[in-house]
């Protein structure tokens, strides 16, 4: 089991197939309406709190994203909403040069839907995400976003134009590594100004 604090509000828990077996649950059975899923979530949050040295209220407001992993396990992203600040100050960014680790990655088949989404987002008047960057490879484009307090709204909006890729910070790291950067930090802001 891997536990990582991505930011004050975001915690990543990576479970292997063995971890899932020990917790007696499968990806297909994960459903918050199920009492067994709630037991697993509470267990994971308790363990994360102890490992990170902070108090995490499992009954508090949070968004939970679960992504299957090809190894048979899964990756859970917890976004804590209005929870108390951590006790031990500790930051584990994805890259030392990037203080914020984007967790949403959208892929577009060409530049046109990217520009259309940027124009529409600017017209909508929503606040810009804390971090955004645009990458290109083989004619496809990836937009990386740190959603801040509005992950669901950003997901719904940008999925109208592109496809949300699974993997969160892992997909973002692979994009940074293997794709060509077109517009670095504040991509949405810069593209909005150009349009």
pLDDT tens per residue across span 68-92: 887 788 988 888 876 644 333 332 3
Residues 117 and 158 sit within 8 Å (Cβ to Cβ): yes
Residues 80 and 56 sit within 8 Å (Cβ to Cβ): yes
Q: What is the mean pLDDT of residues 102-113?
A: 86
- The Cα 195–Cα 173 span in angstroms is 28
Position 99 pLDDT exceeds 60: no
pLDDT digits (tens, 9 = 90+) for 39-63: 888 889 888 888 888 878 777 778 8
- The Cα 167–Cα 118 span in angstroms is 23
Q: What is the pLDDT of residue 108?
A: 95
Delineate the domains of the chain, giving CATH numbers in brackets.
2-80 (no CATH), 104-194 (3.30.70.1950)
* 67 compared with 169, residue with greater pLDDT: 67
Picking from 24-28, 36-40, 91-95, 143-147, which range would have the lowest pLDDT averaged per residue?
Answer: 91-95
Position 1 pLDDT exceeds 70: yes
- Read off the pLDDT band of 148 (50, 70, 90): low
Q: Is the pTM of this model over 0.85?
A: no
**Pairing verdict, β 104-108 and 74-80:** unpaired
Q: What is the mean pLDDT of residues 125-154?
A: 81
Residue 49: alpha-carbon gap to chain centroid: 19
């Amino acid at each position: 089991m891997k536990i990582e604090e991505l930011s004050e509000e975001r915690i990543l828990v990576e479970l292997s197939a063995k971890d899932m077996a020990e917790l007696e649950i499968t990806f297909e059975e994960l459903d918050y309406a199920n009492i067994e899923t709630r037991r697993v979530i509470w267990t994971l949050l308790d363990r994360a709190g102890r490992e990170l040295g902070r108090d995490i209220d499992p009954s508090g407001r949070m968004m939970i994203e679960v992504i299957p992993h090809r190894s048979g396990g899964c990756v859970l992203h917890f976004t804590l909403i209005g929870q108390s600040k951590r006790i031990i100050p500790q930051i584990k960014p994805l890259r030392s040069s990037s203080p914020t680790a984007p967790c949403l990655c959208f892929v577009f088949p060409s530049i046109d839907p990217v520009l259309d989404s940027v124009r529409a987002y600017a017209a909508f008047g929503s606040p810009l995400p804390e971090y955004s960057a645009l990458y290109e490879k083989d004619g496809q484009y990836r937009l990386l976003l740190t959603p801040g307090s509005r992950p669901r709204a950003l997901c719904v909006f940008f999925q109208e134009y592109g496809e949300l890729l699974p993997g969160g910070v892992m997909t973002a790291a692979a994009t940074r590594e293997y794709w060509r950067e077109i517009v670095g930090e504040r991509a949405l802001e810069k593209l909005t100004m150009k349009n």
